[in-house]
Structure 1
Amino acid sequence: MKKLTLILIIITCIASCTTNSDQKKYDLAIENVSLFDSKTKNVSKNKTILINADTIAAVIDASQHSNAITIIEGNGKLVVPGFIDTHIHLHQMLDLTTGIAPEFIDRSYRKKLTEKLLSYGTTTAVDLGISEKWMEETLQWQKKTSPDYPNLYIAGGAMISDLEWNRYVPEHHTVVFNPEDGVKKVQKYARMGVQHIKLYSKLETPEMTAIINEASKSNIQPYAHVDNNIVNIPEAMELGVRDFEHFFTVLPSVLNLKDHREALLKKYNLQRPNHIDDFSATRSFYFQYIKENPELHQRLIELFKKMAEKKVTISTTIHVLGAAAEKTDFFSSFNHFPLREAPELPDYTPANKAKLKEAFSTMMQYLKIAHEMGVTIRIGTDNSEAGQAILSEFLLFHEAGFSIEDILQIATWNGAKAMHIDHLYGTIEKGKKADLVLFDKNPFTNVKNFLAKKTVIKEGKVFMPQNSIQDTVLNLIEKEGISAGVSFLDDNQSNTPEAYEMVEIAYHLFHMGKVDEGKAIVDLIKKDFPKFAPIYHENAINSIGYSLLYAEKFDEAIEIFKLNVEVFPDAANTYDSLGEGYMKNGNKELAIQNYQKSIELNPENQNGIEMLKKLNQKH
């Protein structure tokens, strides 16, 4: 009997050991979580997510035993797929001033995406309009994903036609001169590995048609921003477009903005728009204008019906308009510059601002109507603070009556489907990439919990955010002076700054009119990064000077213009600008001297000649 008992014990031990050795060991287990299904919008409790490398290997009941190298105890917390922003622009994040970014970038600049996106839970983004000079580098980022950075998809330059009246072409736009040129551009992008393209509002029908047809052959998905009364949404739908950018671009499909502009301004007692924040505010007012006109209201409803029938998607960009209406917890806009912490609407009375808030709420009501009618809404922030703006948009959605389930679906599944990347992202299921957001506090119980602490999992690795080196140094300079900032940059070992981050610090100081402090940072860049060039950009510095000049910060503007003269002594325009600065500040003697120098360097400077005549007449 004893012998039989011993044999049974041995067999049991062998079976147990075999079971343990056969049980698969995973790299990461996130145990006992409430899992949001972004397809069905249901929440399943008591789940465990098993991850190998960068991929979800299984989702099991929390009661089942699992074997993992690393375990995160979820304690019933909510986990959702990583957020997807379908409309960002890297240039907005890297601009030195409005519309002027570094000419070329390298892999060090990828860190900016982590700072602006991943820290807030945005694990995937699409750049719908990037400088072609940046494409070779950023397409490498697209191909080689990493736990340290958000996934980035590149659409190349936003395509526009060769329009006689369009004198200024930003770096992130690309001109196609005719339909044949458009076809060649798509073919080139396809060879490079581009999967998405942007059709901009300055693209005419012949070029748009050719590009859409060629994109279809190359399995490239077109996304259209159409609000210039050249091609509208119904016309683009007839050409085959199913994905549109910015909810406010529905407006020109309902009314001609130019034809109704004066009536709108008069109706709401507004001045002519002359600032980027005026643009955002006016877009909200147009929705109020439509609401108060039954015929226009009906046109908009009919448009939503057509969009739903065609299974159209449209991105949001509601934070920017909400920020202009002071309906958000923080301010950011299409343009980061001039530096400001609130919308710049100098002509707005308290009554105008109150009406603007109402108009923005009206726009959000229309967004909810479109959503309820079957138009697919997806996140597209389109501003430099994209990650923070996504969370802001969640709150705006909720205030407008969207459910938490709908908000999370909009931020995950809808974006993945629209960008044709749903085989990789957008849901939590076996085979998908392990890009996840684990909330410390549940947004289903309080919408403000969207802003609370969260754990971001990128490709199966826990993301560890770092404080912005730029913010740290600028705060230090503000409190303790430039020497403290320089010492910090010189001695910091834990978070070594990239060269471009130090350039951003210098230019931020220039925007504040702090020339000596900015120059001190530039000197440090030259010492630590001797091969980094150029640091000074004539047009960027000139633009900063004029921004200060328009704000009537004359002394600061003059110091910036003097810096440009110092750095670019052979450039006629630098003296012309300095002359204007002195003239606006009432110093005619120095204004004349600098205009004269400008004309010496460029005898054909008609502006300088005219200004000199006026000054000499008054002198």
Structure 2
Amino acid sequence: MQSTKFIILALFACIARPLVAQNITAFEDFNVVPMESDKILAHTTVLVDGRKIIAVGPARSVSIPKNCEVVKGHGKRYLIPGLADMHTHIDEQEDLLLLVASGVTTMLNMGHANGQFITTTRQSVNEGKTLGPYTFAGFWIDGVPESNGFYVTKPEDAKAAVESAHKLGYEFIKAYSLVSPECFRAICATAKGLGMPVVGHGQRNLDFREAAETGLCMLAHAEEYFYTYFAKGKGPEAIPDAVQITKETGLTVTANLSAYHVMAAQWGKPDVLKKLMEDPDVKNLRPENRDQWEGSELARNKGSLDKRVPFLDTLVKSLQDAGVPLLAGTDTPGIPGLPPGKSLRTELELLVKAGLTPYEALSCATRNAGGFISGVLPNQEKFGHVAVGERADLVILDGNPLKDIANVNSMEGVVVAGKYLPKSKLDSMVREQSRRFEAEVALQKEFEASLKANGLAKTAVDFSQPRGKIALREHYLNNLGYACLGAKKIKQAVTLFQLNVKLHPESANVYDSLGEALLASGDKEAGRKAYAKAAELDPTNSNAAKIAAEKD
């Protein structure tokens, strides 16, 4: 019956309007995994027109327009929906390439994204102008004592924060752990009125059931049960009760096994972190990500998380068995061992090891993600299936992922918003980016040698222009500038931030940092001008706008 449905849709789509060959890509004679069920459609052809799938049907029946691009499956390759990572903290364009190169075509940023990524980069990606996964974004709100995000202490401030996030284009509100009950209720009420789903951590100041009933629609990590429902000494014997409450309240859960497993593996174990840093894929990380991994505190922590790992796996399997919707997420890229893209494939393998079938695990990163978005944001493009009318996000595999989930690693190509990229092209792009990273790191070493030999003033002049296509990285100079600022070396900080502005004039952050240093130097007029430029480039930076408008 399923096959008949696809044939009818395919024929209708082909007859309904003329097909223009230059807009069409045909994926001919594949084993299609539509993810409507665990059935595979053998010898099936899929037609893509721009961003949309327009036909899915038997290879012998679907008419392929002349002169269109044809990708052949030869009856052997597999075609699955693009993957969705529903918990990331990615806000750099360079990381988007790594996601796509691993078959990730949708992501949810769960907070701390820089404003320009939200208002500019993300829009360009979602419109298909810049390569990357279709991106949804959540605005992070915490209580006190805050962790490292935006926080509120009064309901009226919580309401204003949600309204501001809505104006800036965020789809979600991410409620972090320590929001007060009054503020959490204000967040949920305001967000509901604006059509913004509330996702996030388990609330430490509210009963688990009450948090879900108040408006939390998705739990960002399954481990959050440890800090909420199981916090008062409950053990695995209480899993059925936790699952029952979850099901009754309609909560969706992002498993995020990869984050907890990798944290447990390196908790208090420096040798494990050292081994992670030796992984060949580390060279593909942005240099600042590598530095973040190397400086991680996890390996220096006391105690062990090892006993909780099987507890978490059992909980996730129990949630699946009870019919609780599960999503796949990774928390990439900040935690050592979770590189963008590759970590989602690890997540799928861990879900299977926890007891899910390959189909159930793959569902978490495809049909469940699409169903979750359709349920909470009904006006968004549909995705998560290989089906007519859905966004043309696809992954080509050499092996059957429903037989062995490890076959998600046999990727041979990706289709993102209708654009087909073979593995060879993606691999080449990643290699080129990695070579640039290495050249930038080498340039940083030259810069540091010049500082010792010639001093900052001359070095800043000598490095004020790119060397070919290579320039000092924005994050590198910013970190040096703030190190000087912290050491009360204000003049040097101003020089470093001015160099950053010259090399990266498109970045709001460099102007914000320069403004801070100029104010510290006593040059209020120049400082306010720098903040004004930061606010111009990043409309989400209300603090920069406020400082720019101040009078003496």
Query: Normalised by the size of structure 2, how large is the TM-score?
Result: 0.69
Which residue does 1:447 correspond to in 2?
A: 405
Which residue does 1:29 correspond to in 2?
A: 26
**Pair 1:404-2:358 in alignment:** yes
Q: How do 1:147-296 residues align onto structure 2 when only pairs under 5 Å count?
A: 148-156=131-139, 158-161=140-143, 163=144, 165-166=145-146, 170=148, 173-226=149-202, 229-256=204-231, 296=235
**Pair 1:387-2:341 in alignment:** yes
Instruction: Check conservation: 1:197, 1:221, Cα contact below 8 A.
Output: yes
Note the aligned Cα RMSD (angstroms).
4.1
C-alpha offsets along residues 250-308 of structure 1, whole Å, 9 cap, x if unaligned?
1122343xxx7xxxxxxxxxxxxxxxxxxxxxxxxxxxxx7xxxx53333320111101
SS where residue 190 of structure 2 aligns? helix
**1:393, distance to aligned residue in structure 2 (A):** 0.9
Instruction: Check conservation: 1:232, 1:252, Cα contact below 8 A.
Output: no
Instruction: Check conservation: 1:50, 1:58, Cα contact below 8 A.
Output: yes
Unaligned runs of 5+ in 2: 1-13, 267-271, 334-338, 453-458, 497-520, 522-552
Instruction: Check conservation: 2:125, 2:131, Cα contact below 8 A.
Output: no
> Quick one: which of 138, 141, 155 aligns to 2:124?
141
Query: What is the one-letter code of the residue matched to 1:373?
Result: A
**Pair 1:462-2:416 in alignment:** no
Which residue does 2:8 correspond to in 1?
A: none
Q: What is the alpha-carbon distance in structure 2 between the residues aligned to residue 195 and residue 569 of structure 1?
A: 37
Q: Which moved more, 1:48-57 or 1:423-432?
A: 423-432
Q: Could you say if the C-alpha distance between residues 58 and 298 of structure 1 is closer, same or farther in structure 2, counting changes exceeding 3 Å?
A: same
Which residue does 1:273 correspond to in 2?
A: none
Q: Which has the larger radius of gyration?
A: 1
**1:54, distance to aligned residue in structure 2 (A):** 1.5
Q: Could you say if the C-alpha distance between residues 113 and 425 of structure 1 is closer, same or farther in structure 2, counting changes exceeding 3 Å?
A: farther
Query: What is the one-letter code of the residue matched to 1:174?
Result: F
Query: Normalised by the size of structure 1, how large is the TM-score?
Result: 0.62
Instruction: Check conservation: 1:438, 1:454, Cα contact below 8 A.
Output: yes
Instruction: Check conservation: 1:84, 1:122, Cα contact below 8 A.
Output: yes
**1:70, distance to aligned residue in structure 2 (A):** 0.8
Q: Could you say if the C-alpha distance between residues 346 and 206 of structure 1 is closer, same or farther in structure 2, counting changes exceeding 3 Å?
A: closer
Unaligned runs of 5+ in 1: 1-18, 92-108, 261-289, 476-484, 486-501, 547-560, 572-600, 602-619
Q: What is the alpha-carbon distance in structure 2 between the residues aligned to residue 531 and residue 339 of structure 1?
A: 20
Which residue does 2:261 correspond to in 1?
A: 322
Q: What is the alpha-carbon distance in structure 1 between the residues aligned to residue 114 and residue 434 of structure 2?
A: 30
> Quick one: which of 465, 471, 475 aligns to 1:526?
465
Which residue does 1:86 correspond to in 2?
A: 86
Which residue does 1:44 correspond to in 2?
A: 41
Q: Could you say if the C-alpha distance between residues 65 and 414 of structure 1 is closer, same or farther in structure 2, counting changes exceeding 3 Å?
A: closer
Q: Could you say if the C-alpha distance between residues 147 and 29 of structure 1 is closer, same or farther in structure 2, counting changes exceeding 3 Å?
A: farther
Query: What is the one-letter code of the residue matched to 2:354?
Result: A
Q: Could you say if the C-alpha distance between residues 316 and 335 of structure 1 is closer, same or farther in structure 2, counting changes exceeding 3 Å?
A: farther
Q: What is the alpha-carbon distance in structure 1 between the residues aligned to residue 38 and residue 460 of structure 2?
A: 50
SS where residue 55 of structure 2 aligns? strand
Query: What is the one-letter code of the residue matched to 1:471?
Result: S
Q: Number of residue pairs matched? A: 440
C-alpha offsets along residues 326-376 of structure 1, whole Å, 9 cap, x if unaligned?
49996799986444499953577xxx87xx555423321221112112221
Using the aligned pairs only, state the percent identity: 18
> Quick one: which of 291, 300, 317 aligns to 2:239?
300
Which residue does 1:54 correspond to in 2?
A: 51
> Quick one: which of 434, 446, 450 aligns to 1:471?
434
SS where residue 202 of structure 1 aligns? coil
Query: What is the one-letter code of the residue matched to 1:34?
Result: N
Q: Could you say if the C-alpha distance between residues 184 and 338 of structure 1 is closer, same or farther in structure 2, counting changes exceeding 3 Å?
A: closer
Which residue does 2:536 correspond to in 1?
A: none
Q: What is the alpha-carbon distance in structure 2 between the residues aligned to residue 522 and residue 78 of structure 1?
A: 54
Q: Could you say if the C-alpha distance between residues 346 and 47 of structure 1 is closer, same or farther in structure 2, counting changes exceeding 3 Å?
A: same
**1:39, distance to aligned residue in structure 2 (A):** 3.0
**1:401, distance to aligned residue in structure 2 (A):** 2.2
Query: What is the one-letter code of the residue matched to 1:536?
Result: L
Which residue does 1:126 correspond to in 2?
A: 108
Which residue does 2:478 correspond to in 1?
A: 537
Q: Could you say if the C-alpha distance between residues 73 and 187 of structure 1 is closer, same or farther in structure 2, counting changes exceeding 3 Å?
A: same
Q: What is the alpha-carbon distance in structure 2 between the residues aligned to residue 64 and residue 137 of structure 1?
A: 43
**1:47, distance to aligned residue in structure 2 (A):** 1.1
SS where residue 537 of structure 1 aligns? helix
Instruction: Check conservation: 2:88, 2:108, Cα contact below 8 A.
Output: yes
**1:232, distance to aligned residue in structure 2 (A):** 4.5
